Structure 1
C-alpha cells in the first residue's frame, strides 16, 4: 500500500515524479530501473518519491494509472455526435493517441507496452490493465449498442464487436512497437474503417 494515495500527492509533484519516471524508463527500461534513476530526472530531491510511494513497485502501479488517465481523459466527443462518428473518434484516439508536449504518443506507448509484457507476473499491474481494457471495450460496445438502438447500425453482438475492435487496436500497437512495422496503426485504421465500420452501418 502506498504511503499516500494519488489524491494526496500535490498535482504538480505527482506530474513531476511521473514525467521523470517516463524519462528514466525510456533510458533504462523497466527491469533495470532504479529509484535513483528517476531521482536524477527530477529537479526535486529524490526523497520526495520515497515520501509518497513505497518503493519501485508502488510507484510503477501509480505510474501505470497515470499513463492510462492521460489517454482515457483525452477523448472529448460531442454529446450529439452520431454513433459512427463517435466510433471513429474513439478508435482513432486509441490507435494514434493525443498530442503531448514532451514524449510523443509512441514514446509513451513504448513504456506502456514494456509494463504490459511484465503484467503476466504482476497481479496488481494485470488488474490495472484488465480494468483499462474493460473500459476501452465497454466504451466501444456502448456506442455500438446506441447505434443499434437508433437504427443506424445492424443488429450485431455489440460485446463481441467491442472486443474484436479492442483486440485489433492492441495488435496494431504491438506490431509497431515490437516488430517495427511502422504502418501497422494506419493499416489497421483503414481495415477497421472499411471492413468493420462500413459494414456495420445499416443500409437505407
Structure 2
C-alpha cells in the first residue's frame, strides 16, 4: 500500500471537504480534487467516513502529538507558538500534512473544524475522534502551563481551568471565523489569549 497515495487522497479530501461541506461531500468530489478515478480511493479507504477519520488521525499526529512529545525549552514561548499554530497555521507546518494546501488554509481549517465537530453530534465514531483530539489538546496546554509554573515563568494558576479557558476561546474563534463574516474573529481571539498568557507570566 502506497503511503504517498494515501497522503494525496487525504489532502484531496481536506480540500474537497473545505469546499463542499460534510453533507454534500462525495467520493466523486474527492476523486475530482485528486484528479483520479474515484474508484482508486476505495483501494485505500472503505468509505468517506473512513477517509475523513484517517485524515483526522494525521492531523492529531502532526499538530498535537509532535507538540506533546517535544521538550519544553521555554514554556511561555512554547504556549504562544502552540496557540499561533492553531489560529494561524504556518505554511511550513501545514505542509507536513499537505503538500499543496489551499490558498486560504486558515479559513479551510476553520470550516473543517465546524463541519466535523457538528457531524460528531450524531456520529459516535467522529465524536470519539473529536473527544480524543480535545483531550490531547488540553493535556498539551496543561503540560506547558505546569512547566511554566514549575520554572517560575507563570504565576501559580490552576493549570486545568486555565487550559479549559484557553481552549474554549480558541474553539470559539475558529467557529466564529467559519460561521460569520467577522474576518477579524481569529485575530481578536489571538489578542485575548495573548493577554491571558501575559497575565499569567511573571514577566507580565
- Give the TM-score normalised by the residue count of structure 1: 0.84
Give the match for residue 175 of structure 2. Answer: 174
Within a 5 Å distance, the mapping from 1:16-55 to structure 2 comes to 16-55=8-47
Partner of 2:113: 112
Q: CA RMSD in A?
A: 2.4
- 1:147-186 equivalence runs, <5 A: 147-186=148-187
Report the equivalent of 1:102. Answer: 101
User: Are the equivalent residues in 1 in contact too, given 2:27–2:48 (CA < 8 A)?
Assistant: yes
Which ranges in structure 1 are unaligned for 5 or more consecutive residues? Answer: 1-8
Aligned length: 195
Partner of 2:188: 187
- Higher relative contact order, structure no. (Cα contacts within 8 Å, ≥ 6 residues apart): 2
**Which structure is larger by alpha-carbon Rg, 1 or 2?**
1
User: Is contact 1:95–1:169 with CA below 8 Å preserved after alignment?
Assistant: yes
- Classify 1:93/1:83 alpha carbon distance in 2 versus 1 (closer, same or farther; 3 Å): same
Secondary structure, in 3 states, of the residue corresponding to 1:32? coil
**How do 1:10-89 residues align onto structure 2 when only pairs under 5 Å count?**
10-72=2-64, 79=71, 81-89=73-81
Q: Within 1, Cα distance between the matches of 2:37 and 2:203?
A: 62
Match of 1:5 in 2: none
Ranges of 4+ aligned residues in structure 1 off by more than 4 Å: 73-80
Match of 2:97 in 1: none
Asked if 1 retains the 8 angstrom alpha-carbon contact of 2:64 and 2:140, the reply is: no
CA 48–116 in structure 1, closer or farther in 2 if over 3 Å, else same: same
